[in-house]
Structure 1
C-alpha cells in the first residue's frame, strides 16, 4: 500500500478521461467524484479500468456530455429507471450515478432511492475502504473526501462498515458475502463489531438470489487462498446456510482410540493446494466438493477402523443438486466437476499399489481430456502429515504421470475404444439395448484395456463369439 497526498492523487488522475469528466462537470455546474474500488485500488497500487463516478445531481447528464467529447469510439448506455449511465471507451468502463440516499424494506434488498448529497452517498456505501471519494472538479481536483477513515482501515487491513453494521447487512444481505469476499481478496481482517453483525444477520442471506450468491462465492474461489473466505463464512454462520454439505464435514469421531481426520479442514487445504497450481474455477469447485460424500458413507469397521467406501461416487451424485441450488451452470461445467469428484480416488488407488499399464490405460480412458486436471486434484489431495507416506504417494503419482505421457504419445486414446461397437453387437445377436449387450461390450473393452488382445477386428470377433457362447447367445455346434 502507498499513502498518497491530494497532490499525488491529482497526479495519478492526470489522464485524459478524468480531465474530460472534470470539464463536463464544471460546464454543467455539478460536483463530481470518483469513488469506490478505483480509489481504493489507487492506494493499494492495483490496476483498475472500472471507474465509478458519483455526481451531486444528474450522472446521466455528465455521461452524455462525456460521450460527446469522446466521439464515435465511445458507447453510451443510459438506465433512466435507475438514474445511472455507463460510458465504454477503449478498455475502460465509466459508471455514472447521481448521489443518493437509500432506505430498505425488510423483505427486499431493492432500496427506495432519493436524490442526496455526497455525504448521503458515502453513508450508503458497504465498507469504509469503498466509501472514499476523490473530487474531479477543477478547483478541487485530487482532493480526498474520507469521512469514515477508510484510508486508516486500508492501512490497517480492516474491513468495517461506515455505519451500524446491523443496518448495513440487514438492508442488503449481499453485503455480508461481499464483506467476506473483500477480506479474502485483500487478505484483510473483518473488524470485530462488523463480524458480530455477520453472525446476527446470517439468516437474512435467504432473501438473496442464487445468482448473486454464486457470483460472490466464485470470486472467493478465485482468490489466492480461498480457504480464508470459507473459514470466515463458516465462523459467521453463512456457510451452513449456503453449503451445508460442506460444513457437515466438520466432525471428528473417535472409536476404540481411532479417529478419522477432520474432512472440512482437509478439504480447505486441498482447495488451497489446487489454487496454487491452477486458475481453473471449476477445478477449484471440484476440490471444494471432492469429499462431500463422506458423511453419508462413513462406517466403522473393527478391522479397518473408519471407512468412507464409495464416497467419491456418492459425492458425484450430490454435485448436480448443489449446482442447481446455487444457480451454478448445469452444463458441461457441472458434469466436469461431478466427473472429477467421481474419479478423484482412482489415481490414489493406483498410486497405493504397483502402477500397472493396464490400470493407467483405464484411468486415461475414463478421464479423457480431463486427465491432467484430475491428476492435479489428486496430488493436491495428499495432505498427510506422515512425510514418508506423502513422499511415496507423490513419487507414485510421478510414475502415473510418466505412464500417462507415454500412453498419450502412442495415441492410446484413439485405440482404447474397441473397433466392434454396441450397434454391431445387437445386429449380430438380434438383441435390443440390454444387460447382455453391456456385458459383451465390457468384455471387449476390458480385453483391450488389459492388453490381452490387440484392438483389431479378427481377435476381438473371436473373443466376442466365445463370450456370447458362455452367455448362451450362440448355440454350441
Structure 2
C-alpha cells in the first residue's frame, strides 16, 4: 500500500479520461468525484479499469456530456430507472450516478432513493475503504474526501462500516457477504463491532436472491485463500443459511473413544490445496463439495468405527440441489462438478491397492477429458497427519499419473497405428523387406492420421489394394 497526498493523487489521476471528465463537470457547473473501488485500489496499487463517478447533480447528464466529448469511439448506456449511466471507452467502463441518500424497508434490499449531497452518498457506502472520494473538478483536482478515515483502515488492513454496522447490514444484507469477500480478497481483518454485527444480522440474508449470493461466493472461491472467507461464513452463522450442507460438516462425533476428523476444516484444507494448483472455478467448487455427502452417510460400526461409505455417491446427488438453490449453472459445469464429486474416491482406492492397467483404464474411461482435474482434486484430498501414510499415497498417486501417461500413449498408438501391418503386406504381395512395403505402410498411416479412412480393416484393405495397383504390384 502507498499513502498518497492530494498532490500525488492529482498526478496519478492526470490522465486523458479524468481530465475530460473534469472539463465536463466544470462546464456543467457540478461537483464531480471518482469514488469507491477505484480510489481504494489507487492506494493499494492495484490496477483497475472500472471507474465509478459521483456527481452532485445528474449522472445521466454528465455521462452524455462525456460521450459527446469522446465522440464515436465511446458507447453510452443509460439506465433511467436507476438514474445511472455508463460510458465505455477503450478498455474502460465509467459509471456515473448522482449523489443520493437511501432509506430501506425491512423486507427488501431495494432502497427508496432521493437526491443528496456527497456526504449523503458517502454515508450510504458499505465500508470505510469504499467510501473515499477524490474530487475531479479542476479547482480541487486530486483532493481526497475521506470522512470515515478509510485511508487508515486500508493501512491497518481492516474492513469496517462507515456507520452503525447493524443498520448497514440490516438495510442491505448482501453487504454481509461483501464484507467477508473483501476481507478474503484483501486478506484484511473484520473490525470487531462489524464482525459481531454479522452474527446478529445473519438471518437477514434470507431476503437476498440466490443469484446475488452466488456472485459473492464465486468471488470468495476465486480469491487466493478462499478458506478465510468460508471460515468467516461458518463462524458468523451465514454459511448455515446459504450452504447448510457444507456447514453441517463442522462437527466431530466421538463414540467408544473414537472420533472422526472435522470434515469442514478438512474441506477447507482441500480447497486451499486445489487453489495452489488451479484457478478453475468449477474445480474449486468440486473441492468445496467433495465431502458434502459425509453427514448423510455417516455410520458407526462396532469394528471399523466411524464410516462414510458411498459419501461420494450421496454427494454427487446433492450437487444439483445446491446448484439450483444458488442459481449456479445447471449445464455442463454442474455435470463436471457432479462427476468429480462422484469419482473422487476412485483414484484413492486405486492408489491404496495394486495399481493395475485395467483399473486405470476404467478410471480414464469414466473421467474422460476431466481425468487430470480429478487427479488434482484427489491429490489435494491427501491431508492425513500420518506422514508415513501420506507419503505412501503421494507415491501411489505418482504411479497412477505415470500409468495414465503410459496408457494414453499406448492407446494413442493403438488407435492411430493402422491395423494392417508390414508383415501382412509382405505376405499379401509376396514381398521381402523393401521400399515398396514402406510406401504401402506409409500410405495407410497417412490416411489414418489425416482421418481420411477409419482405422478398420475393410476400408484400409480397399485403400491398400488401390495403392498397390497404382504401384504395379497387383
TM-score for both structures, normalised by structure 1: 0.86
1:65 and 2:62 are equivalent in the alignment: no
Question: 1:413: how far off?
Answer: 11
- Stretches of structure 2 that go unaligned for 5 or more consecutive residues are 416-454, 458-474
Number of aligned residue pairs:
418
1:441 matched to which residue of 2?
Answer: none
CA distance in 2, matches of 1:306, 1:214: 33
- Structure 1 residues 50-449: aligned runs within 5 Å: 50-411=50-411
CA distance in 2, matches of 1:173, 1:300: 40
2:43 matched to which residue of 1?
Answer: 43
Which is higher, the Rg of structure 1 or of structure 2? 2
Cα deviations by residue, 1:321-351 (Å, 9 ceiling, x for unpaired): 0000111001111110010000000000011
Question: 1:302: how far off?
Answer: 2.1
Question: 1:196: how far off?
Answer: 1.0
SS in 2 for 1:277: coil
CA distance in 2, matches of 1:8, 1:351: 59
CA distance in 2, matches of 1:343, 1:414: 27
SS in 2 for 1:369: helix
SS in 2 for 1:291: coil
- Two-structure CA RMSD over aligned residues (Å): 1.4
Contact preservation (8 Å) 1:365, 1:413: no
CA distance in 1, matches of 2:353, 2:340: 21
CA distance in 2, matches of 1:347, 1:154: 45
SS in 2 for 1:410: helix
CA distance in 2, matches of 1:94, 1:35: 11
Cα deviations by residue, 1:237-269 (Å, 9 ceiling, x for unpaired): 100001110111111112222211110000000
SS in 1 for 2:276: helix
Cα deviations by residue, 1:25-75 (Å, 9 ceiling, x for unpaired): 000000000000000000000000000000000111111111111111100
Question: 1:131: how far off?
Answer: 0.0
Question: 1:409: how far off?
Answer: 1.5
Contact preservation (8 Å) 1:136, 1:142: yes
Contact preservation (8 Å) 1:225, 1:272: yes
Q: Which segment is superposed worse, 143-152 or 386-395? A: 386-395
CA change 1:413–1:290 in 2 (3 A) is: farther
CA distance in 1, matches of 2:219, 2:61: 33
Contact preservation (8 Å) 1:153, 1:159: yes
SS in 2 for 1:411: helix
CA distance in 1, matches of 2:51, 2:387: 49
CA distance in 1, matches of 2:413, 2:385: 36
